[in-house]
Amino acid sequence: MPADPHVQRWQLPIPLGRLALDGPLEALNPAGLAPLPEPLLAVLARRGLLSAAAVAELLDPPAVPPPAEHFADLPKAVRRLQQACRQAEAVTICGDYDADGMTSTALLVGVLQRLGAAPRAAIPSRQSDGYGLNVAMVEEQAAAGVGLLITVDNGVSAHAALERARELGVEVILTDHHSLPPELPPHLALLHPAVTPEHSPYRGLAGVGLAYVLAGALCGAMRRRDELVVARDLFCIGTIADMAPLLGVNRRWLLDGLPHLQSSPLPGLQALQRLAGIDERPLDAQTVGFQLAPRINAVGRLGDPTLVVELLTSADGETALALARECEALNRQRRELCQAIEAEALALLEADGAHGSPFVLLAQSHWHHGVIGIVAARLMERLGRPTALLASEGGGRLRASVRRRAASPLDQALAGCADLLERFGGHPAAGGFSVRAENLAALHERLNSLARGWLEHEGAGQPVEPEALLGFEQIDRELLRQQQRLEPFGIGHPQPVYWSRRCSVLSQRLLRGGHLQLELGQGERRLRAIGWNWHGTTDLPAVVDAAYRLRLDRWQGEERLQLELVGLRPAGCAESGEEVVLQRRQRLYWCRREGSSVVVRNAAGEEIRSDGELSHPYLRSLLEEAATALGLAA
């Protein structure tokens, strides 16, 4: 059955008793470091950090190992770039039009320029060229006398372009983190996370991380490590913007770099912060991801990406401010386009009666290619179903952006439809393809069939997956301060989601823009809660269970704790004997508390009790989950 956009599918956290904990939670606290409170230790344990050593590595990651030990071609690339710097040689940095590609390009252009080379940027147009290095770009650079290209955030699949480079005698250093093809195109040197040793801390690098590795090795070889200060700032921006996993080397470098980002010597970053209104407080990963990255990405979506390279390499404050204002204007245009397309898409769903389609697929020739991916992601979150939006590509073809929850790989699904597609690519949760208009109906039918199987396996509704139970009396500035020790948050290490049982809804208000504002109470405590772009029900019962993230809300100079809502559901009342429903895969169980015992009943009316004799592991684990559902476990 397709997911109901107003239904939430709660999956409560794994009972701690089922984890391979060696002793109590407190034993996870590393020696020599201030202890973390139990709710945060519970979150980390459920994420697989089951020893004090693992927690210590998260809080204070080890020093970065020498990159030359992990990238075999790095010395070769550095020697060639040293030659280019000493001879003031023209070098072209071939980037991509997303934030990762643009910051990578700016990073290498800036470093090479300061080290004596004559770098230039070449980034394809999203609208007219599409992704990656192409033959025309190579021929243009060769005609201009360029003998060395460096690709950033692309290149490993650019076979035709790099074959042409070899024919023209142009050398190429490849730095890329996209999937390696079975056969690589010709190149002088390759920096790619997949060619590092297994379990290397460099495995999670985005394109900008690889550019930073290359720049760091070059600056070290030329005894100019001072030139890496601004490069580190761009590494932080690009890594967060590309949603790279914030683990391993990424985590170490972000912990080192983020505290200094607000005071970056780059005039372009200072101008972006000023226009975003965030120039007076420290920058964390969330601020970078939600305030700075969209302003950079908007340029690649709607304008000329070399604008960002100019902004992030400019040494003049006034020039940088003027360029930042152009970015700001494009970002406003991006927001307006997204709002218009989202409204039109929802109207199409309503008119076509397509709310029941397991795979949402909508096409309009006039939609802008640069923003349909953003809107597809919003609709996927809103509807709880995989979503593709398509716009005209000309010549009877349509180009799509697709978004999907990562539980079932989207890239494999597209590969299964290859016979209907002109081209396709992507990751497990995001992708794109081109399709001829006459194949669209057959494609939608096949995608619906695939999505129907996903939804049957996963269950209907929006997933709500809290990680630890909190009572309101535990929520204070100290808990938030301790949570900040786990930052930066991002892919692979998200901000914790907590849940609280039996919260009284003291007031509720739907704000302009579709945001839900609540005042929730538990015992003597009152807390403000906000649901941004709330698409769930606003007809709330008097008592709810709430899932949320903790935030510090800043408004007109004041700061206060706020719950950022992830999910709401009617609360069960174990204390008075009411039952809480527990869903385990496709089975439902009714759980209640009787004195100090937990009682679980199945659909056939059979019951088990925690004070009874239970030999089967399934029944024991079921009682553990019931205790968690009843709020009797952390």
Q: What is the pLDDT of residue 582?
A: 79
Q: Is residue 342 part of a domain?
A: no
Are 487 and 32 within 8 A, CB to CB?
Answer: no
**From CA 320, how far away is CA 309, in angstroms rounded?**
11
Domain boundary among 438, 461, 484: 461
Quick check: is 552 in a domain? yes
Does the pLDDT of residue 633 top 70, yes or no?
Answer: no
What integer pLDDT is reported at residue 5 of this predicted model? 44
Q: What is the CATH number of the domain that holds 489?
A: 2.40.50.460
Q: How far is CA 569 from the centre of its chain?
A: 26
* pLDDT at position 86 over 80: yes
Number of Cβ within a 10 Å radius of residue 242: 25
The pLDDT, as a whole number, for residue 574 is: 45
- Residues 115 and 245 reside in one and the same domain: yes
Task: Write out the two tokens for 532.
Answer: 């941004």
**DSSP summary character for residue 490:** B
Tell me the average pLDDT of the chain.
89
Q: What is the pLDDT of residues 472-514, one digit of tens each?
A: 999 999 999 999 999 999 888 999 999 998 999 999 998 887 8
Q: Are 450 and 470 contained in the same domain?
A: no
Domain count, the chain: 4
Q: Is residue 332 part of a domain?
A: no
pLDDT of residue 91: 98
Q: What is the CATH number of the domain that holds 87?
A: 3.90.1640.30
Burial of 473 (0-12, 13-18, 19+ CB in 10 A): exposed
Instruction: Label each residue of 272-291 as H, E or C.
Output: HHHHHCCCCCCCCHHHHHHH
Residue 426: exposed, middle, or buried by beta-carbon count in 10 A (0-12, 13-18, 19+)? buried
CB atoms within 10 A of CB 32: 7
* pLDDT given at position 4: 42
- Mean pLDDT across 584-593: 80
Range scoring the smallest mean pLDDT among 17-21, 36-40, 183-187 = 17-21
Residues 251 and 61: beta-carbon distance below 8 Å: yes
> What's the CATH code of the domain at 376?
3.10.310.30
DSSP 3-state percent helix, strand, coil across the chain (nearest 5): 40, 20, 35
Please check whether residue 96 lies inside any domain of the structure. yes
| C-beta of residue 446 within 8 angstroms of C-beta of residue 363 | no
DSSP characters over 200-232: -TTTT--HHHHHHHHHHHHHHHTT-GGGHHHHH
pLDDT number for residue 491 = 83
Q: Percent of the chain scored above 70 by pLDDT?
A: 93
What is the pLDDT averaged over residues 127-146? 87
Are 474 and 582 in a shared domain?
no
Question: Between vectors from CA 626 to CA 623 and to CA 627, what angle results, nearest 5°?
Answer: 90
Residue 2 has pLDDT above 70, yes or no: no
β-pairing, 148-152 vs 90-94, is parallel
Work out whether the CA dihedral 192, 194, 196, 199 comes out positive or negative: positive
- Domain check: are 498 and 587 in the same one? no
Strand partners for 507: 519
The alpha carbon dihedral of 541, 542, 545, 548 has a sign of positive
Alpha-carbon distance values, 38 to 28, 35, 470, 488 (Å):
10, 9, 10, 20
What's the whole-number mean pLDDT along residues 139-144? 96
Q: Tell me the mean pLDDT in the region 334-341.
A: 95
* In contact, 591 and 599? CB cutoff 8 Å: yes
Of 126-135, 180-189, 436-445, the least confident: 126-135
Residues 214 and 130 in one domain: yes
Q: Looking at residue 458, what is its pLDDT?
A: 67
Q: Is the pLDDT of residue 527 over 90?
A: yes
Choose the final residue of a domain: 218, 237, 254. 254
Shared domain for 424 and 490, answered yes or no, is: no
d(CA 613, CA 605): 19
What does the H/E/C string look like for 518-542? EEEEECCEEEEEEECCCCCCCCCCC
Label residues 568-596 b or e (16+ Cβ within 10 Å = b): bbebbebeeeebbebeeeeeebbbbbeee
3-class SS of residue 143: helix
Residues 590 and 490 in one domain: no
111 and 228 inside one domain: yes
The confidence score (pLDDT) of residue 126 equals 76
**Main-chain phi, psi angles of 618, to 5 degrees:** -60, -45
Burial per residue of 483-514, b for 16 or more beta-carbon CB atoms within 10 angstroms, e otherwise: beebbbbbeebebbbbbbbbbebeeeeeeeee
Q: Let me know whether 84 and 101 are in one domain.
A: yes
47 is a domain residue: no
pLDDT tens column, 269-304: 999 999 999 877 788 898 999 899 999 999 999 999
Specify the pLDDT at position 1. 31
Q: What pLDDT, in 10s, does the model give residues 350-390?
A: 887 655 688 999 999 999 999 999 999 989 888 888 999 99
The answer as to whether 529 is a domain residue is: yes
For residue range 380-429, list pLDDT tens digits in order. 888 888 999 999 988 999 999 999 876 567 778 888 899 999 988 777 67
**Confidence band, pLDDT 50/70/90 cuts, at residue 629:** confident
Helix (H, G, I), strand (E, B) or coil at 624: helix
The neighbour count for residue 289, using CB atoms within 10 Å, is 18
| Residue where one domain finishes, among candidates 410, 428, 461 | 461
**Is 235 a domain residue?**
yes
Tell me, yes or no, whether 327 lies in a domain. Answer: no
Residue pLDDT, tens place only, 430-481: 888 999 999 999 999 999 998 888 877 766 667 889 999 999 999 999 999 9
Residues 457 and 492 in one domain: no
> In this model, does residue 9 exceed pLDDT 50?
yes
Full residue range of the structural domain in which residue 601 is found: 575-629
Structure-block tokens of residue 436: 């001829």
Tell me which of 15-19, 260-264, 314-318, 323-327 is least confident: 15-19
pLDDT of residue 429: 72
Of 174-188, 215-229, 358-372, 396-410, the one with minimum mean pLDDT is 396-410
Closest CA to 598 of 17, 8, 157: 17
Higher pLDDT, 109 or 381: 109
- Buried residues in 60-77 as b, exposed as e (16+ CB within 10 A): ebeebeebeebbebbeeb
> Do residues 472 and 497 share a domain?
yes
What is the token pair recorded at 399? 């180009």
> Which positions ≥6 away from 289 have C-beta within 8 Å?
240, 241, 243, 490
Question: Do 538 and 450 reside in the same domain of the chain?
Answer: no
